[in-house]
Amino acid sequence: MTQNLLIRNARPLGGAPVDLVIRDGRFSPPGDQPPAEVIDAAGFIALPGLVEAHTHLDKTLIGMDWYENRVGPTRNDRILADREAKRDLGIDARRQSARQVLQTLKYGVLHIRSHVDVDTEIGTANIEGVIETREAVRDLVDVQIVAFPQSGMLPRAGTLDLMDTAMRAGADIVGGIDPATIDRDPVRHLDEIFALAERYGKPIDIHLHEPGDLGAFCLELIVERTRALAMQGRVMVSHAYCLGMLDPARQRALIEAMAAENISVMTVGSPAAPALPLRLMRECGLTTASGSDGIQGTWEPWGNGDMVERAKYLAQRNGMTNDADLAETMRICTVGGAEGIGLSGYGFAEGDFGDLVLVPARTLAEAVALTPQKRTVIRRGRMLVRDGEQVADLSGRFSL
Amino acid sequence: MTQNLLIRNARPLGGAPVDLVIRDGRFSPPGDQPPAEVIDAAGFIALPGLVEAHTHLDKTLIGMDWYENRVGPTRNDRILADREAKRDLGIDARRQSARQVLQTLKYGVLHIRSHVDVDTEIGTANIEGVIETREAVRDLVDVQIVAFPQSGMLPRAGTLDLMDTAMRAGADIVGGIDPATIDRDPVRHLDEIFALAERYGKPIDIHLHEPGDLGAFCLELIVERTRALAMQGRVMVSHAYCLGMLDPARQRALIEAMAAENISVMTVGSPAAPALPLRLMRECGLTTASGSDGIQGTWEPWGNGDMVERAKYLAQRNGMTNDADLAETMRICTVGGAEGIGLSGYGFAEGDFGDLVLVPARTLAEAVALTPQKRTVIRRGRMLVRDGEQVADLSGRFSL
């Protein structure tokens, strides 16, 4: 961490070329000593670490046998298939989460918020597995763990106690899921998870797929509780499809109400789900993050976890093609994500953590459109990936 | 073309492993002579050449300066920006089309239908440029050229004559565009392009973005003319967004009417456009092809032309995640495309052209989900690409 690194000719977030100095793991002013190492960034764009604000590290099947998906189309079909798969495929949450973290490190994903299943069949085994990975990669990638009641919480007796156990075991965030359509009692569901968050002094992140006015109602309940418990800046709503399904007046009012409580939204930009009004959300100052959701699992067979490609998905889903809009989607996958999941020391200012991803592109828009793969990834002044190839020796750290 | 090639252990369309023999450029029964060359396909999936059924070879900016897109959101904004770009950027249709053809050859795209602009500013220069490329790649890739009135036909006097000139110059297909919203006279627009097609004995391919009932009305006019002129099997409708915007009864009736005249549909699966009802279309026997649309141009900054990735887009847009559905989207990007653009000798039967693409995947669904890049591409028994790297010497053939 005492290494002194000079990166010449990098363009932070696509801006003018600068030289960056990292000393003791943080961006620093140029000092008197010559740098121990000099890197020529060749005018590439520098991003301050990609932020994966929503994935499911415990459920990826990377490197396992191909899973033949015969699952029906409803969310409930998928929840059942998912629970079956956890049982039948012997998915090892520790190993699988490590595989995904290493895969996405090559893209420059340095911060991950992962929902991790808690249910009455597996208990907190997945939480414990992903905690092992979180600790093993602590100096490479920040991993935040959300205790997530995927199969429902209130209808499945014992789940709430397991959520409590998960928080005691070291989960970082309290999760929730569809208070109405899955848990069948929106007020009680939200009261319980807000109480849990208060008890452990932790943030909240709620999966909210509820449609239209039902979703809007749940969002109102979330806004009320965030205000009442002074949880501003500590509540994220994931998906929030309803925001893309309301009439314009109601849509704006709700977005403004969320922004006023500094609630953030995570959207994947899924091609088959309602598109969130990204421009309006930005105009209203609503913090917006993005994520890959599950990759290569029983829910969806695809996904690579590349958050630059995710910026492209966001733009494509919103019919955005001009450069300014593409730069905005890249902002969502970097600084928006950092704000949304509550990172500190994120950016290129002096004193910020010395993390950066060099992307060979002329503009942010080009990076989003073409997702160049030969990236260089530096964490706290240490080169981990060079031109798309892992250069740091991480052997002995995991069993994969 | 007399080369005798044996490909061992390939799995056509993901089926059981077989050995394939290519002799004189066609799939043949095993002969008495030992093969001149043997390839071990290692159990990879074999596809009979990817089919790009809809792109704009004359407008890609591959390898040119980054185009800063400041274009407004409407189709008309984009048409104007596109025409300006052709004038101001000096896009060389011959060179650019060759670049795209070579780029997509690496993915295994062996058949391309390209719309090529005809308008009163550039005349038929782009048609002539892409014809040069078509001839230069004749033994590598089939290129079909659609004379396409991008800027409108009836409202811009002289365009129809230029379309006629384009057909005489060697265009393969008569194009059309939004008979109502762009050309303002659906009957006359369609009458003119069907007349042109009849005069030259060529097929038709119409860009139809018209929404909802307006689009449905235009489709009915197309069905009527196809029937009246006995053009069954020779009419494609590109995009046909309206099919995704109708109530179920009207949707089904229209799809059945199109299928009855053997009209085909091309859909890109754009995340921002209405999703076409792929399952219903298949059920009704409507031939469905797919394409990349423009890649890396003024319309859309992204795109690589990989038709395996396109199958993934189709699945994602339709919320399809199970293996059977993914196999179906791959079918659309191969045999559906071949039917749609009227190829003959396409497939793995004896006598079919000896073309194949080996994709390292266990199932079609895995290929779609993960789009493996290290493909091997064989055309008429000749290896062009091996493990993702071009191996055929194509130098001297183009100036790029």
Q: Give residue-wise pLDDT tens across range A353-365.
A: 999 999 999 999 9
Helix, strand and coil in chain B, % to nearest 5: 35, 20, 45
Query: Mean pLDDT throughout B378-385?
Result: 96
Interface check A74 vs B, CB under 8 A: no
Q: Find chain A residues with C-beta within 8 A of B71's C-beta.
A: 321-322
| A316 CB within 8 Å of a chain B CB | yes
Q: Which residues of A touch B272 (CB under 8 A)?
A: 275, 316-319
Region B77-82: what's the mean pLDDT?
90
A73–B319: do the CB atoms touch at under 8 Å? yes
For B366, which of A66, A300, A369 is closest by C-beta distance? A66
Q: How far is CA A309 from the centre of its chain?
A: 14
- Is the Cβ of B318 closer than 8 Å to some Cβ of chain A? yes
Provide the pairing of β-strand B356-359 with B45-47.
Answer: antiparallel
Is it the case that residue A2 has pLDDT exceeding 60?
A: no
Q: A73-82, A109-118, A265-274, B153-162: lowest mean pLDDT where?
A: A73-82
- Residues in chain A within 8 Å Cβ distance of B311: none
Selected residue of A69, A312, A366 to mutate for chain B interface (largest B Cβ count, 10 A): A69
The model's confidence at residue B1, banded by pLDDT at 50, 70 and 90, is very low
Of A296, A321, A362, the CB nearest to B300: A321
**Is A153 an 8 Å CB contact of chain B?**
no
B chain contacts of residue A270, beta-carbon cutoff 8 Å: 316
DSSP per-residue letters across B221-289: HHHHHHHHTT-TTSEEEEE-GGGGSS-HHHHHHHHHHHHHTT-EEE----TTSPPP-HHHHHHTT--EE
Nearest CA in chain B to A269: B271
What's the average model confidence in pLDDT over B13-24? 96
Start-end of H helices in chain A: 75-88, 93-105, 125-136, 159-169, 186-200, 212-228, 248-260, 278-283, 307-317, 323-331, 337-340, 364-370
Question: Which H/E stretch holds residue A40?
Answer: strand A37-40
Query: Which of B60, B61, B302, B359 would you mutate first to test chain A, the one with the most A CBs within 10 A?
Result: B302
Q: What is the mean pLDDT of residues B65-91?
A: 89
Q: What average pLDDT does the structure give for chain A?
A: 96
Whether B121 contacts B87, CB under 8 Å? yes
| CB-CB under 8 Å, B363 with A68 | yes
Q: Give the span between the Cα atoms of A256 and A249, in whole angstroms.
A: 11
Instruction: Please determine, for residue A21, whether its predicted confidence score (pLDDT) is greater than 90.
Output: yes
Amino acid letter, B120: T
Q: Do A322 and B69 touch (CB under 8 A)?
A: yes
Q: Which of A272, A301, A362 sits opposite B66 (nearest CB)?
A: A362
Q: In the beta sheet, which residues pair with residue B6? A: B21, B38
Q: Tell me, what's the pLDDT at B397?
A: 81
Residue B33: the pLDDT is: 83
Rounded average pLDDT over A322-344:
98
* A70, A321, A368: residue with CB nearest B322: A70
pLDDT at residue B2 is higher than 70 = no
pTM beyond 0.90: the answer is: yes
Please give the residue of chain B at the shortest CA–CA distance from A302: B369
**What pLDDT, on the 0 to 100 scale, is given for residue B188?**
98
Residues of B in contact with A68 (CB under 8 A): 323, 363, 365
Shortest CA gap B250–chain A (Å): 22
Residue A291 CA neighbour count, 13 Å, CB half: 26
CB A125 within 8 A of CB A66: no
CA distances from A275 to A71, A240, A257, B78 (A): 24, 10, 19, 22
- Among residues A247, A218, A243, which one has the least CA distance to residue A318? A243
Beta carbons of B299 and A317 less than 8 Å apart: no
Say which residue, B87 or B166, is predicted with more confidence.
B166
Q: Indicate the pairing of strand A204-208 with strand A173-177.
A: parallel
pLDDT in tens, A201-239: 999 999 999 999 999 999 999 999 999 999 999 999 999
Query: Could you read off the pLDDT of A73-86 as tens digits, one per residue?
Result: 888 898 899 888 88
A66–B370 C-beta distance less than 8 A: no
- Mean pLDDT, rounded, for B65-86: 89
Q: Where in chain B is CATH 3.20.20.140?
A: 51-340
Whether the Cβ atoms of residue B378 and residue B7 lie closer than 8 Å to each other:
yes
Per-residue pLDDT band for B229 (boundaries 50, 70, 90) equals very high
Q: Are the C-beta atoms of residues B227 and B257 closer than 8 Å to each other? A: no
So what's the pLDDT on residue A72?
87
Tens-digit pLDDT profile for residues B293-343: 999 999 999 999 999 999 999 999 999 999 999 999 999 999 999 999 999
Q: Does A287 or A393 have the greater pLDDT score?
A: A287
A323-338: b (≥16 Cβ within 10 Å) or e: bebbbbbbbbbbbbbb
CA distance B71 to chain A (A): 6
Strand order of the sheet with strand A235-239?
Answer: A50-55, A109-117, A142-148, A173-177, A204-208, A235-239, A264-267, A288-290
Q: What is the ipTM of this complex?
A: 0.95
**Chain B residues touching residue A319 (CB < 8 angstroms):** 73, 272
Helix (H, G, I), strand (E, B) or coil at B68: coil
Mean pLDDT of B285-297: 98
CA A50 to CA A52: how far, in whole Å?
7
Contact: B66, A366; criterion CB under 8 Å: yes
Residues B338 and B288 sit within 8 Å (Cβ to Cβ): no
- What are the pLDDT digits (tens) for A277-295? 999 999 999 999 999 999 9
Mutate to test the interface with B, among A60, A296, A322 (most CBs of B within 10 A): A322
Contact A68 B316 (CB under 8 A): no
Mean of pLDDT over chain B: 96
Residue type, A18: V
Q: What is the DSSP string of A170-181?
A: T--EEEEE-TTT
* Two tokens, residue B139: 């033994």
Per mean pLDDT, which range of A256-265, A303-312, B73-82, B146-155 is the poorest?
A: B73-82
The answer to whether the CB atoms of A69 and B272 lie below 8 A apart is no
Task: Indicate the pLDDT class of residue B3, thresholds 50, 70 and 90.
Answer: low
CB count in 10 Å sphere of residue B97: 32
Does residue B184 register a pLDDT over 80?
yes
Judging contacts by C-beta atoms under 8 Å, the chain B residues touching residue A271 are 269, 271, 313, 316-317
pLDDT (tens digit per residue) in B100-126: 999 999 999 999 999 999 999 999 999
Q: What is the four-CA torsion angle of A342, A344, A347, A352, rounded to 10 degrees? A: -170
B4-48+347-390: CATH number: 2.30.40.10
C-alpha to C-alpha distances, A279 to A275, A320, A328, B11, nearest whole angstrom: 11, 10, 9, 47
Mean pLDDT for B252-260 is 98
pLDDT of residue A33: 83
CA distance A362 to chain B (A): 7
- Give, to the nearest 10 degrees, the angle between helix A212-228 and helix A186-200: 30
3.90.1150.10, 3.40.50.2300, 3.20.20.140, 3.40.50.300: CATH of B51-340: 3.20.20.140
Cα A83 to Cα A70: distance, rounded to the nearest angstrom: 14
Instruction: Yes or no: say if A165 and A199 are a contact pair by the CB < 8 Å rule.
Output: no
Q: Does A275 sit within 8 Å of B301, measured CB to CB?
A: no
Can you say how many angstroms the Cα of residue B170 is from the centroid of all Cα atoms in its chain?
18
Looking at residue A10, its pLDDT comes to 98
Which residues of chain B does CATH 2.30.40.10 include?
Answer: 4-48+347-390
Q: How confident is the model at residue A1 (pLDDT cuts 50, 70, 90)?
A: very low
Chain A residue nearest residue B269, CA to CA: A271
- pLDDT value at B395 more than 80: no
pLDDT digits (tens, 9 = 90+) for A60-107: 999 999 999 998 888 889 889 988 888 899 899 999 999 999 999 999
CATH 3.20.20.140 fits A50-340, yes or no: yes
Chain B closest CA to A162's CA: distance in Å? 30
Which one, of B278, B289, B281, lies nearest residue B236 by Cα? B289
Portions of chain A given CATH number 3.20.20.140: 50-340
**CA of A38 vs chain B CAs: smallest distance (Å):** 29
